[in-house]
Amino acid sequence: MTQQTGGRRIVTNMSLSLDGRYARPDDPRDMSWVMPYAVTDVARDHLTGLWSTASTALLGRVNAEGFLGFWPTVIGAEGADPRDEGFARWLVGADKVVLSSTLGEAPWERTTIADKPAAEVAADLKAAEGGDILVLSSASVIKALLAADLVDRLALTVFPVFLGGGPRLFDDGLPAGRWTLAAQAAGEHGTLSLVYDRAR
């Protein structure tokens, strides 16, 4: 795993519609709108660039159940894209911290359950040794970390679709601050990858 100099970074990753939503208004768990774009080279390369420097995954319970229920099945699957399989292997092997007040123990290997506020857990992880701490599409966790100004790298994939409603990632009242563009790419179907670093 890659060791960071000058402390660990908290890196958040989220897919957004062009009208700024991360989920449909009628069914927040329905991610079918993402699928045509998530399998593009831009999206796959974007995710690879994020996990390759990370050693810890920080997830909310709902996302943990989705990610850890699906991704291990990709390993060794016939016709799997090597980037998808690489991410799946990373996720299985990485240290995982799942924020939950309802799970008593982790049903997944290399996983710790934390029943504490996201900002507190993230600050503790940041103070420990290791590579980046990657927050994977867990909107409630990302929102809490943005509100606490703890996000060091903000990674987004923007897909050219309007959802016409639904929850937004960026709530009013976030701390004011500047971000610098670290990477950008555009590709198939108009998929856009953006990576911003917090200017402190």
Measured in whole angstroms, how far is the alpha carbon of residue 2 from the centre of its chain?
18
Question: The pTM is what?
Answer: 0.93
Tens-digit pLDDT profile for residues 49-89: 999 999 999 999 998 998 999 999 999 999 999 999 999 99
CATH number of 10-199: 3.40.430.10
The domain spans of the chain are: 10-199
C-alpha separations of 52 from 55, 56, 91, 176 in Å: 8, 11, 11, 29
Rounded CA separation 6/8 (Å) = 7
SS3 140: helix
SS3 content of the chain, % helix, strand, coil (to 5): 30, 30, 40
Judge whether 133 and 126 are in contact, CB under 8 Å: yes
pLDDT band for position 4 (50/70/90)?
A: very low
Measured in whole angstroms, how far is the alpha carbon of residue 23 from the centre of its chain?
14
Rounded CA separation 37/137 (Å) = 15
Side chain identity at residue 71, one-letter code:
W
Judge whether 166 and 22 are in contact, CB under 8 Å: yes
Residue owning tokens 């989920």: 23
Lowest-confidence pick of 41-50, 59-68, 138-147, 149-158:
59-68
The β-bridge relationship of strands 192-199 and 153-159 is antiparallel
Tokens of 155: 């990674």
